[in-house]
Chains A and B, each alone.
Chain A
Amino acid sequence: MNAQELEEKVKEVVASVIGISADKLPADADFARDLDVDSMKAIEITGAIEKTFKIIIPEEEIRKIRTLNQAITLTKQLLNIK
């Protein structure tokens, strides 16, 4: 999987959990402020990314993921994709 494919897949996964179409998910929208994502939904987003990419996201990172871009960056780091 290359970086672009990963970005698209993370976007698809996050949009699915939030319940919106991927094309309506801006990369820099604040999950909590702009998309009504609370801490419980953040856990579900994290779990969905973990299951999709077969990675473990450290618990302390969950509250730091506030945008799609941050979710993508963290996933890339954990998969060592640049």
Chain B
Amino acid sequence: MHWDKEKIKSILPQREPFLFIDEVIEVEEGKRVVAKKYLDPALDFFKGHFPGNPVMPGALIIEAMAQTGLILYYTTKPHIAKTHPDYYLTSINVTFKSPVYPKDTLILEAHNFKIVEFGGVVDITAKVKDKIVATSRSTFAVVTKKNQDAK
């Protein structure tokens, strides 16, 4: 199983420079997905975080994790995801274990704790090579266009 960036763009609403998944390398529909993000040293945020000592901001690791969670949602509720609903990150409990540097490749693995049509809870691990750099449990809400119109 391999999903390229075009396939990912058909699922996620985010676009560069705020798209933090390059490819999806493993999919167990409704159970888990594994995605990758190569951290090009030319990425803009490295210039300011921090000058002379570039590390990936934790907030962006969270974003990469959340986007992986949405890919998992797509594999679980494709009939909803294909309508391009709005997604809202509603909570996250994250632990950072190690810094992430330019030229690293983030490996993001999301597991379904509980996903339903209107949202989900996912557990996500971020690794560089075999080293865990962050873990999280996040929840997100899914608002379909139909529900928006009803408001």
Contact = CB atoms under 8 A, between A and B. Distances in A.
Interface residues of B, number: 14
Interface of A: 38-41, 43-44, 46-47, 50-51, 59, 62
B35 interface: no
Nearest to B117: A59
Contact of B90 (A40, A50, A59, A62): A40
Contacts of A47: 113-114, 121
B91 A46 contact: no
A39 B119 contact: yes
A47 B111 CA distance: 12
Nearest to B88: A40
B139 A44 contact: yes
A43 B119 contact: yes
Contacts of B115: 43
